[in-house]
A and B are shown apart, each in its own frame.
Chain A
Amino acid sequence: MKDIKIEVNKLSLYYGEKLALNEISMQIPRNKVTALIGPSGCGKSTFLRSINRMNDLIPDVKITGEMLVEGVNIYDKNVDVVNIRKKIGMVFQKSNPFPKSIYENIAYGPKINGIKDKKQLDEIVETSLRQAAIWDEVKDRLGDSAMGLSGGQQQRLCIARTLAVSPDIVLMDEPASALDPISTSKIEELVHQLKEQYTIIIVTHNMQQAARTSDYTAFFYLGELIEMDKTKSIFTKPSKKQTEDYITGRFG
């Protein structure tokens, strides 16, 4: 692994007294898809949320160790959390479009960032929707409410909305778990295309999805990172017995 986007050094996270992540160290490569897998409560979502400091919003959270994004520890005191979140987009399990038009959903972020020029906004809207593979489905009804889209379309719209503010990193927390198989495969294909431009980290309960979509896979268990390797290796010859047992369905 040569080109590292995120380097994590002994990151521990406590919810009050409870240790949720125990000295996680890993390297996340640039422009690749990294999947985080593991049973419920293993810490994978907590870890994902610590990459854009979403856990700051939870009271009683204590974090030690380093999370270096492009060499900068995002937990340093002088780091502006808003800037971090601008660079690190996030897509959630349940699609959550704003109750606005399709166009406004995408243009919202860029507008907040100070872009006012209509032509430029039009361009961003089109590019983002194209990147999220939904342009052809919505181009004739950009003024319609986003709430009228299907679940799969809403999720791709949310991905487009994330891309509209030009992040470097896209975090996805179970982005397809509420979708039907066709929408799921669209999202998976999309993830594959997006990695050309973005570093993607995806949490999924669905091991097959991790296998299909990711380049690297990290297996978490009881707050610890058990193993991280190329997805090919994890799913054909994992080096830890716990990983083997989990992916073969023998526990978890």
Chain B
Amino acid sequence: MASLLEIELTKLKNAIIKIGILSESQIAEAMKTLLSDPNTKGKKLKKNENKIDKLDVKIDEICQNIFALQQPVASDLRFIMSAMQISSEIERIGDLAISVIKSSKSVKEKYDLVVKFNVASITKNVEAITEKTNECFETQQEKTIEEIFALNKAIRVATEKVIEEIVVEMKLNSKAVGSGTNLILALKHLERIGEHCTNIAESIYFVINAKTIKHEKTKFE
């Protein structure tokens, strides 16, 4: 029979997996909107956002109860400390998905810029990094952590390059300023999503190895 602590830890793990899946679907929706500017499924997104917020609070509660009632130690302790951080990182990722959609809306000329600067190659990586991050939490494999850092680097390099190109475009073509600015904002959000994913990967590294690699990203880059 599983101990009470084990039952609570499983509950916590499942809640994080669930919130991760929700944020993954928010990201997928946001990327679709960014690329093609169709009618967004605003209602579904809003509903998911509420679910994410509620789960985030619930995860904090589960963690608080485990700390107060079960006195976790060693790997259990690390897992719970990380779970709290991971949950708020995921919640932020969900918020950023909404921000991407907001900055993608009502920009008529954006689509041309999106195609011209191959934004799709970045959104593909953003979807990949969120998927990888969820997978990494579930499997707790160090190999996946490396992949997350690599994807983040690719996203960062690509967004920096595209932003520079958009700035050049805006200088040449004043009509592109409105949509260009919005696109830059959206790209900045994508970059942040990658950063949040690496923060999660760092937390998972801490769970696995009992060693913190915060602020020493060179380890994987």
- A-side interface residues toward B, CB under 8 Å? 185, 189, 192-193, 208, 211-212, 231-232, 235-236
Closest to B61 in A: A236
- For B69, give its contact among A185, A189, A231 (CB under 8 Å): A231
Interface residues of B, CB < 8 Å — how many? 9
B172 contacts chain A at the CB level, 8 A cutoff: no
Q: Which residues of B contact A211 (CB under 8 A)?
A: 68-71
B1 contacts chain A at the CB level, 8 A cutoff: yes
A216 to chain B, nearest CB (A): 13
State whether A236 and B70 are in contact (beta carbons under 8 Å apart), knowing that A189-B3, A193-B1, A212-B4 are contacts in the complex.
no
How far apart sit A144 and B70, CA to CA, in the bound complex (Å)? 37
B115 to chain A, nearest CB (A): 53
Q: Which residues of B contact A232 (CB under 8 A)?
A: 65, 68-69
A236 touches B1 (CB 8 A): no
How far apart sit A208 and B73, CA to CA, in the bound complex (Å)? 13
Q: Which residues of A contact B4 (CB under 8 A)?
A: 189, 192, 212
Q: Which residues of A contact B121 (CB under 8 A)?
A: none
Closest to A193 in B: B1
How far apart sit A232 and B8, CA to CA, in the bound complex (Å)? 13
What are 15 A-B interface contacts by the 8 Å CB criterion?
A189-B4, A208-B71, A211-B68, A211-B69, A211-B70, A211-B71, A212-B71, A231-B69, A232-B65, A232-B69, A235-B68, A235-B69, A236-B64, A236-B65, A236-B68
Counting chain A CB atoms within 10 Å of each CB, the highest count among B3, B4, B69, B71 belongs to B69
How far apart sit A193 and B3, CA to CA, in the bound complex (Å)? 10
- B-side interface residues toward A, CB under 8 Å? 1, 3-4, 64-65, 68-71
B7 to chain A, nearest CB (A): 10
B74 to chain A, nearest CB (A): 14
How far apart sit A231 and B4, CA to CA, in the bound complex (Å)? 14
B67 to chain A, nearest CB (A): 9
Closest to A185 in B: B3
How far apart sit A211 and B65, CA to CA, in the bound complex (Å)? 10
How far apart sit A208 and B65, CA to CA, in the bound complex (Å)? 12
The 6 closest A-B pairs by CB, nearest first: A235-B68, A211-B69, A236-B68, A208-B71, A236-B64, A232-B65
Closest to A236 in B: B68
How far apart sit A192 and B4, CA to CA, in the bound complex (Å)? 9
B69 to chain A, nearest CB (A): 4
How far apart sit A211 and B1, CA to CA, in the bound complex (Å)? 20
Q: Which residues of B contact A208 (CB under 8 A)?
A: 71
B1 touches A212 (CB 8 A): no
Closest to B65 in A: A232
B144 to chain A, nearest CB (A): 34
Closest to A234 in B: B68
How far apart sit A211 and B70, CA to CA, in the bound complex (Å)? 7
A188 to chain B, nearest CB (A): 8
Q: Which residues of A contact B69 (CB under 8 A)?
A: 211-212, 231-232, 235
How far apart sit A235 and B71, CA to CA, in the bound complex (Å)? 12
Q: Which residues of A contact B3 (CB under 8 A)?
A: 185, 189
Q: Which residues of B contact A192 (CB under 8 A)?
A: 4
A212 touches B70 (CB 8 A): yes
How far apart sit A187 and B4, CA to CA, in the bound complex (Å)? 13
How far apart sit A28 and B23, CA to CA, in the bound complex (Å)? 43
How far apart sit A155 and B3, CA to CA, in the bound complex (Å)? 20
How far apart sit A235 and B67, CA to CA, in the bound complex (Å)? 10
A235-B69, A236-B65 given; name 8 further pairs at CB < 8 Å. Answer: A185-B3, A192-B4, A211-B68, A212-B4, A212-B70, A212-B71, A231-B69, A232-B65
A38 to chain B, nearest CB (A): 18
How far apart sit A212 and B65, CA to CA, in the bound complex (Å)? 10
How far apart sit A236 and B71, CA to CA, in the bound complex (Å)? 13
Q: Which residues of A contact B68 (CB under 8 A)?
A: 211, 232, 235-236
How far apart sit A103 and B68, CA to CA, in the bound complex (Å)? 40
Q: Which residues of B contact A185 (CB under 8 A)?
A: 3
Q: Which residues of B contact A212 (CB under 8 A)?
A: 4, 69-71
How far apart sit A211 and B3, CA to CA, in the bound complex (Å)? 14
Counting chain A CB atoms within 10 Å of each CB, the highest count among B4, B65, B68, B71 belongs to B68
